[in-house]
């Protein structure tokens, strides 16, 4: 099987969580995993057999070494990694239960990635022989330096002819350096071929509202997607997730892809007994990218991405540690919790 070289760029963090569904106030110990939007995508793609490099900046200490070992454990390339700065970013995650929502507390100010500056990464070397570059709106939210480095990466990826994908992933608690997403993101999104963006984020950050009646969801999605393509002409595919749920233990999940002419709608899955939903959007993006890289048509790639995201809800931690065969089995209706023997 021919492998593609995919590059992702962002911050990987130390995730600390109370055991089970304890609240922060109850916890006497914290469980340790590592994760972050772009590293989650990289690890998922590596599990699918793709050649992928994750670019970030890590402190030159034991925690930085632990992150490198974790990435290598799952088959992600680390040869483009930067070392420097004072600390690894941290986030604390309290799992939701029942009608109580989950909660995240960030501790990533002045992290190695937050203090990155343009010019530190040799993007020409990073993108040599690469085919795809993926980034999220989390990276430019971290700091002005991270935003500038990400913009630099997108420009270089365009220069080298890579396909560029973007997941908006708005995090309101991160944009703290005096800039709004509506000021920072548009010139960066203009360099992207594939955009994952909710209708709410399209309205909030790009001023795009549906022209169709809101009681017709698919028409509204097509309207917003069309306007996004008009605003960002390089974009050839717009993806939107469709998620609903009444509590923390169950969700309905599906997605829609617009290719400029047609809306492709995935199956909608009823997910029950959720183990961990963090990283499910990254799982969807990784599955979609895998499908497109493997020359699946848009409908098949979307189906693969959504099935991958559904499976992520059954796995603790940020990472979607599933195989192509497991995702394909769910796409083909072989779910249901049976034991493989």
What band does 149 get if pLDDT is binned at 50, 70 and 90? very high
Q: Where are the domains of the chain?
A: 5-318
- Dihedral sign, Cα of residue 231, residue 232, residue 235, residue 239: negative
pLDDT at 221 exceeding the cut of 70: yes
276 counts as catalytic: no
- Contacts with 233 (C-beta within 8 Å, 6 or more apart), sequence order: none
- 3-state secondary structure at position 311: helix
pLDDT at 341 exceeding the cut of 60: no
pLDDT at 1 exceeding the cut of 60: no
Q: Looking at residue 244, what is its pLDDT?
A: 87
Share of the chain above pLDDT 90, in %: 87
pLDDT tens for residues 230-259? 999 999 999 999 988 878 788 899 999 999
In the DSSP assignment, the letter for residue 86 is S
Cα separation, 97 vs 79, whole angstroms: 40
Q: Nearest to residue 250, comparing CAs of 337, 198, 310, 330?
A: 310
Write down the catalytic residue from 282, 297, 298, 318: 282
Cα separation, 122 vs 215, whole angstroms: 49
Q: Looking at residue 340, what is its pLDDT?
A: 52
Q: Cα–Cα–Cα angle for 258, 261, 262, nearest 5°? A: 55
Write down the CATH superfamily of domain 5-318. Answer: Ribokinase (3.40.1190.20)
Q: Looking at residue 273, what is its pLDDT?
A: 86
Cα separation, 210 vs 202, whole angstroms: 10
pLDDT at 68 exceeding the cut of 70: yes
The pTM of the full predicted model, rounded to 2 decimals, is 0.94
pLDDT at 4 exceeding the cut of 90: no
Cα 328 → chain centroid: 21
Share of the chain above pLDDT 70, in %: 96
**Do β-strands 51-55 and 194-196 pair in parallel, antiparallel, or remain unpaired?**
unpaired
- Per the CB < 8 A criterion, the answer to whether 83 and 58 are in contact is yes
């Amino acid at each position: 099987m021919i492998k593609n070289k995919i590059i992702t760029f962002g911050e990987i963090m130390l995730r600390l969580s109370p055991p089970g569904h304890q609240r922060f106030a109850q916890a006497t110990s914290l469980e340790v995993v590592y994760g972050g939007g772009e590293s989650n995508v990289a690890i998922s793609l590596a599990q699918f057999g793709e050649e992928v490099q994750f670019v970030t900046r890590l402190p030159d200490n034991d925690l930085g070494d632990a992150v490198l070992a974790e990435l290598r454990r799952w088959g992600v390339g680390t040869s483009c990694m930067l070392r420097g700065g004072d600390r690894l970013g941290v986030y604390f995650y309290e799992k939701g239960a029942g009608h109580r929502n989950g909660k995240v507390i960030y501790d990533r100010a002045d992290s190695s990635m937050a203090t990155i500056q343009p010019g530190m990464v040799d993007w020409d070397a990073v993108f040599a022989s690469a085919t795809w570059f993926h980034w999220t709106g989390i990276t430019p939210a971290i700091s002005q330096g991270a935003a500038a480095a990400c913009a630099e990466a997108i420009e270089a990826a365009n220069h080298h002819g890579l396909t560029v994908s973007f997941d908006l992933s708005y995090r309101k608690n991160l944009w703290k350096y005096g800039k709004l997403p509506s000021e920072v993101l548009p010139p960066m999104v203009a360099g992207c071929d594939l955009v994952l963006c909710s209708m709410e984020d399209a309205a909030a950050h790009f001023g795009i509202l549906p022209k169709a009646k809101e009681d017709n969801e698919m028409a509204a999605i097509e309207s917003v997607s069309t306007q996004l393509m008009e605003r960002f002409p390089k974009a050839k595919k717009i993806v939107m997730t469709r998620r609903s749920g009444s509590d923390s233990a169950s969700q309905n999940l599906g997605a829609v892809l617009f290719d400029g002419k047609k809306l492709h709608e995935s199956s909608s899955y009823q997910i029950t007994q959720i183990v961990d939903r963090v990283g499910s959007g990254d799982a969807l993006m990784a599955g979609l990218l895998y499908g497109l890289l493997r020359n699946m048509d848009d409908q098949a790639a979307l189906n693969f991405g959504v099935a991958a995201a559904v499976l992520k809800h059954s796995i603790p931690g940020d990472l979607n540690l599933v195989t192509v065969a497991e995702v394909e089995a769910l796409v083909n209706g072989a779910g249901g919790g049976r034991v493989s023997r």
